[in-house]
């Protein structure tokens, strides 16, 4: 049976041009009517596509037409239907963030890469860290901290010197960002079903923001992070471009 394809593109001119060219070759449909979503852009646009259309439950096949394309396949417009037939699925489970602000509001969001906390001013953040309700660090003095999925472990987490996690493992990375005290603490690898609580100890003097992928919440006092029990998304990759293999290779990069 012929797959129904929806083609989505970032605002970049090259991505828009590629979308128009594919539209001339294929009979495309809106995302809600599609069997597969084809995303043209970089990793940022892929995350945007997952946030906007992940609830549809459609697999997403990305082609790189942006700056960073770790979650994307190479852009080749020819034989797209054949590539989709041969593509291998990778199932991702996002993180759920629940952030409570200084005003008492509660904000919830999903993160496919990471949930990060960052100081908002020149003052270092003071955080208390709980895992499954138990205090593991009474006070972390730092620029921030993040919880990363395996798929997101090669992104901001890696830049913060966190571990690269093999895809398919049921773990997440808890990584400090520029930790000052405890000076030797480098983070932890936790079970994926662990609930991580991050409490801001002095939110008025040392305000902190929380970000789930690109959704930022300012002036948080507490953030709870856990793996979603209900939501999953499926990415499709060319056999020679599988995400798991690329994450493995990333661990040997200099």
Global pTM?
A: 0.86
Closest of 78, 37, 92 to residue 61, by C-alpha: 37
Distance, in Å, from the CA atom of 41 to the CA atom of 172, rounded to the nearest integer, reads: 27
Catalytic choice (27, 43, 82, 202): 43
Beta bridge partners of 234: 91
Q: What is the pLDDT of residue 102?
A: 96
Q: What is the pLDDT of residue 67?
A: 73
Would residue 213 be called left, alpha or beta, if left means φ above 0 and alpha means ψ between -120 and 50 degrees? left
For 55-78, the pLDDT digits (tens) are 999 999 999 997 767 789 999 888
Q: Is-catalytic flag, 43?
A: yes
For 127-153, the pLDDT digits (tens) are 999 999 999 999 999 999 999 999 899
Domains defined for the chain, CATH in brackets: 5-93+232-250 (3.40.50.10330), 95-227 (2.60.200.30)
Distance, in Å, from the CA atom of 231 to the CA atom of 54, rounded to the nearest integer, reads: 8
In eight-state DSSP terms, residue 154 is T
**pLDDT surpasses 90 at 227:** yes
Beta bridge partners of 176: 145
In this prediction, what percent of the chain has a pLDDT beyond 90? 80
Distance, in Å, from the CA atom of 75 to the CA atom of 41, rounded to the nearest integer, reads: 9
In eight-state DSSP terms, residue 181 is B
Q: What is the pLDDT of residue 186?
A: 93
Distance, in Å, from the CA atom of 106 to the CA atom of 101, rounded to the nearest integer, reads: 6
Q: What is the pLDDT of residue 124?
A: 96
Distances (CA, A) of 87 to 16, 25, 135, 163: 24, 20, 44, 28
Give yes or no for a contact between 189 and 171, defined as CB atoms under 8 angstroms apart. yes
**pLDDT surpasses 90 at 169:** no
């Amino acid at each position: 049976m012929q797959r129904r394809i929806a083609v989505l593109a970032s605002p970049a001119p090259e991505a828009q041009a590629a979308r128009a060219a594919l539209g001339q070759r294929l009979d495309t449909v809106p995302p809600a009517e599609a069997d597969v979503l084809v995303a043209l852009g970089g990793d940022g646009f892929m995350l945007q596509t997952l946030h906007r259309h992940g609830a549809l439950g459609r697999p997403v096949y990305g082609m790189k037409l942006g700056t960073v394309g770790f979650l994307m396949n190479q852009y080749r417009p020819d034989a797209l239907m054949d590539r989709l037939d041969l593509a291998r699925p990778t199932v991702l489970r996002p993180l759920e963030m629940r952030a409570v602000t200084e005003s008492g509001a509660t904000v919830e969001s999903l993160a496919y890469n990471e949930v990060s906390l960052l100081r908002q001013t020149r003052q270092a953040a003071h955080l208390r860290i709980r895992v499954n309700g138990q205090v593991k660090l009474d006070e972390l003095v730092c620029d921030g901290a993040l919880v990363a999925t395996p798929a997101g472990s090669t992104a901001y987490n890696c830049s913060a010197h966190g571990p690269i996690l093999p895809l398919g493992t049921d773990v997440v990375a808890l990584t400090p960002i520029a930790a000052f005290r405890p000076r030797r603490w480098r983070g932890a690898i936790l079970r994926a079903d662990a609930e991580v609580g991050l409490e801001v100890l002095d939110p008025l003097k040392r305000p902190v923001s929380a970000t789930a992928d690109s959704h930022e919440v300012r002036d948080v006092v507490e953030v709870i992070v856990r793996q979603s029990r209900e939501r999953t998304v499926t990415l499709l990759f060319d056999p020679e471009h599988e995400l798991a293999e690329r994450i493995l290779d990333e661990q040997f990069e200099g």
